[in-house]
Chain A
Amino acid sequence: DGGITQSPKYLFRKEGQNVTLSCEQNLNHDAMYWYRQDPGQGLRLIYYSQIVNDFQKGDIAEGYSVSREKKESFPLTVTSAQKNPTAFYLCASSSGLAGVNEQFFGPGTRLTVL
C-alpha cells in the first residue's frame, strides 16, 4: 500500500542532543513537508521541499534542519538550538502544490525532551 511512514513513533531526547526524525513516502510525490503540532494549535510549517536537492524554510525553521537527497525521503533533524522541541511532528507529501492538492500525512513522531 502506498503511504508515508515516520519513525520512530516516540522519541526521547536529552537536552543538548540532536535527533533525526525519519520520513519516507512511496507515493511518488515531488513535494514533502514537515509540520509541528502543539496542543490546541494548528499545524505549523517547519520546512518543505518541492523537488529533490531543494528545500525551503517554513514559518518556524529555527533550530531544525532537513535534507532531500532522494525523492522518497525527507528526514528532519531537531538540533540543540531548538529551545522547545517537545511536540508532535508530522510529515506530509503532495503530488503538486500543497495549496492546491490534498496532502497525505504520516502517523507522526512524538518527541519529548527530558
Chain B
Amino acid sequence: AQKVTQAQTEISVVEKEDVTLDCVYETRDTTYYLFWYKQPPSGELVFLIRRNSFDEQNEISGRYSWNFQKSTSSFNFTITASQVVDSAVYFCALSAYPMKTSYDKVIFGPGTSLSVIP
C-alpha cells in the first residue's frame, strides 16, 4: 500500500530560524513522483516541487531546499531563515507512475502546520 506520513502535526518557530518538515513515504513502485504543496490561510494549495524517484539530487530554491533519500524513503523540506509569510500547512504527496490503479491518483500526507512567530 502507498502511504505518506508527516509525523509533525504542528511546528512553531521564531522568525529567521531554520525549520525542517519531515516526510516519509511507503510504496512498492520503483517509479514514482513526490511533491510538496503549500496551503496558506487563503486555502488554495500551491505547488512547490516535484521529484522523480530516479533523481536523488537535492534541490535548493532560494530559502527552500529538499533532501530526497530513497534509502530511508524520506523527502524532507527545509526552510532557511523562516519568515512570517512561510506560515502555512505543508503537504507532502506521492504518486505512482505508471498508474497501477484504475485511476490517476496522488496520495497526500496529513500535512504539517507551520507557524512562524515574528
Q: List A residues at the B interface (Cβ < 8 Å).
A: 4, 31, 40-45, 48, 50, 56-58, 88, 90, 92, 97-108
Chain B residues numbered 60-118 whose CB sits less than 8 Å from any CB in chain A? 91, 93, 95-97, 99, 102-111
Q: Is B16 in the interface zone, CB < 8 Å from A? A: no
Q: Is B30 in the interface zone, CB < 8 Å from A? A: no
Chain B residue numbers with a CB within 8 Å of A88 are: 43
| Other 17 A-B pairs with CB < 8 A, given A48-B104, A99-B95, A105-B37 | A41-B110, A42-B91, A42-B109, A42-B110, A43-B45, A58-B103, A58-B105, A88-B43, A92-B45, A97-B97, A100-B95, A103-B45, A103-B47, A103-B106, A105-B45, A106-B44, A108-B43
Chain B residue numbers with a CB within 8 Å of A31 are: 104
Which residue of chain B lies nearest to A109 when distances are taken between CB atoms in the complex? B43
Q: How far is the CB of B82 from chain A (nearest CB, A)?
A: 22
The complex places the Cα of A50 from the Cα of B96 at a distance, in Å, of: 17
Chain A residue numbers with a CB within 8 Å of B93 are: 42
Given contacts A97-B97, A97-B99, A98-B95, contact A42 B47 (CB under 8 A): no
Given contacts A41-B110, A42-B110, A42-B111, contact A99 B99 (CB under 8 A): yes
Q: Mark B1-35, 1 if CB is under 8 A from A, else 0.
A: 00010000100000000000000000000000101
Which residue of chain A lies nearest to B48 when distances are taken between CB atoms in the complex? A102
Q: List, sorted by A's number, 12 A–B pairs whose CB atoms are closer than 8 Å.
A: A42-B93, A42-B110, A43-B45, A50-B104, A56-B103, A57-B103, A88-B43, A99-B95, A99-B106, A103-B45, A105-B46, A107-B43
